[in-house]
Amino acid sequence: MGAEQLATANIGVVGLAVMGSNLARNLASRDGNTVAVFNRSPERTRLLTTEHPESGFVASETIEEFVSSLARPRTAIIMVQAGAGTDAVINQLSALFEPGDIIVDGGNADFHDTIRREAAVRATGVNFVGAGISGGEEGALKGPSIMPGGSVEAYTTLGPILESIAAVVDGVPCVTHVGTDGAGHFVKMIHNGIEYADMQLIAEAYDLLRQVGGHSPAAIADIFAEWNEGELESYLIEITAEVLRQVDAKTGKPFVDIVLDEAGSKGTGVWTVQNALDLGVPVGGIAEAVFARAVSSHPEQRGPVRAGITARPEIAVVGHTFHDDVRAALYASKVVAYAQGFDAIIAGAEKYNWNIDKGAIATIWRGGCIIRAQFLNRIKDAYANDSTITSLLVDPYFAQAITDGESAWRRIVSTAALSGIPVPGFSSALSYYDSLASERLPAALVQGQRDFFGAHTYKRVDMPGTFHTLWSGDRSEIETVGSSH
């Protein structure tokens, strides 16, 4: 590593922790690439170059050296901690980059930050691409799903290199230009929200099979492995079977029994729910998954409540088809979670003026990412058949899937309630479906209450206009000017 470097690298990676080092190795393994690498603490850089001489990295110990090692137009992918760390590296690179160069933030950035950063960097003539990258360590190395946002010009240069390192399904690379500025990180955020919901539903299925079904973790691993051969085939089901089959070497107990039952999070699920609230999109499945992790992480509340209860419900007696019912409930709830996630994408695209192709998003999520699944082919097909559908639940395939699983779904939610097993994911998904399916909702009464205490007005079912009842007067109705609010 010298002070000046020859500009031999066609791409660089800044941030060489788990994701950055694996992405750099992935890039280096593709024909024609010479990869420059830099990390704030040089120890990581040294470790990577020592352990992987085959990658032929051009390593630097200062950011200046790193920039000088890049051929023009310079392209650098940042894989550092979201937030202040990312801002620090963007500032360093923008001070040294020239118009036409490209900075890619591949971390899990808040898309509002990406919108801000893209505008600031673009003003200097440098291109900024906020790219969601999913797949964890293995995906980064072997082929992730990549969700880049930013300008079309930047994608023209960057697209081929991203396509060369992404996962490939049916010959199609799992990368697409999602839209301008923050679109890529927005879609990655929704991906993570769906990931939360999917994981929670799988965890509820496990809990039911264990507590009500009476199966051991190893037996449940076999059930999940079998489910992974059918419509539920997905990476998350596959790894769940692996986790459940694991035995703790220290105690000989199932691994799942020695792990503290307090789920952590890094924040992208919370962002999804916060933004869905702002957009007015009901994403109950994702919200329940976030809240379920929060409930689990409050032992100071769980302990005393549990200690104060003298008797728990008897576990309901179930028949031998119970695990088929759980599978059907899991599938129906999963359909709802994905439908809600795509609704949030549609609402975000509208609010932020992104031209997001829903079918293309389903396509690039089929491989490389954490929520990769066969099932995404069905979503791709649904939007190919009709890109204007108001909900995935009206697509003929999904409507039929829900109808087929509906009775089992209801049996599972009621069995769980009778047995005292928490199923916030399954039950919120069912309530959401029932809300959409109901002829009339008690929202009419809520409107009446709002009008009573706040003169917020209401609309009538039998005539146009906006009305208010004089609740504290003679209770006659008047027509009001302006719309209901």
Ligand X SMILES: O=C(CO)[C@H](O)[C@H](O)COP(=O)(O)O
Between CA 71 and CA 74, with CA 72 as vertex, the angle to 5 degrees is 85
Question: In a 10 Å sphere around its CB, with 0-12 CB exposed, 13-18 middle and 19+ buried, how is residue 280 labelled?
Answer: exposed
- Active-site pick, 65, 188, 358, 380: 188
Q: Which stretch binds ligand NDP (CB under 6 A): 84-92, 174-182, 202-210, 318-326?
A: 84-92
Question: Which bin fits 170, alpha (ψ -120 to 50), beta or left (φ > 0)?
Answer: left
Q: Does 79 bind ligand NDP (CB under 6 A)?
A: yes
Q: Does 200 bind ligand X (CB under 6 A)?
A: no
Let me know how long the chain is.
485
Place of tokens 């790193």: 66
Q: Does 63 bind ligand NDP (CB under 6 A)?
A: no
Cβ-proximal residues to 400 (8 Å cutoff; 6+ apart), any chain: none
Please pick, from the candidates 42, 73, 136, 422, the single residue that binds ligand X as defined by CB under 6 A. Answer: 136
Alpha carbons 186 and 353: distance in angstroms, whole number: 12
Alpha carbons 391 and 106: distance in angstroms, whole number: 30
- x/- map, 363-392, ligand NDP, by CB under 6 A: ------------------------------
Alpha carbons 263 and 255: distance in angstroms, whole number: 15
Q: Does 266 bind ligand X (CB under 6 A)?
A: yes
Residue 188 catalytic?
A: yes
Q: Which is nearer to ligand X, 139 or 213 (CB)?
A: 139
- x/- map, 90-109, ligand NDP, by CB under 6 A: -----------------xx-
Q: Does 83 bind ligand X (CB under 6 A)?
A: no
Cβ-proximal residues to 442 (8 Å cutoff; 6+ apart), any chain: none
Residue 477 β-bridge partners = 469
* Residue 149 counted as an annotated binding residue: no
Window 125 to 164, contacts with ligand NDP (CB under 6 A): 133-134, 136
Residue 54 catalytic?
A: no
- Active-site pick, 118, 195, 204, 288: 195
By the 8 A CB rule, do 175 and 204 touch?
A: no
By the 8 A CB rule, do 145 and 166 touch?
A: yes
- Residue 175: DSSP 8-state: B
> Which residues form the interface with ligand NDP (CB under 6 A)?
15-20, 39-41, 44, 79-82, 84-85, 88-89, 107-108, 133-134, 136
Annotated binding site for NADP(+): which residue ranges? 15-20, 39-41, 80-82, 108
Q: Give catalytic residue positions.
A: 188, 195
> Which residues form the interface with ligand X (CB under 6 A)?
108, 134, 136, 192, 195, 265-266, 268-269, 370
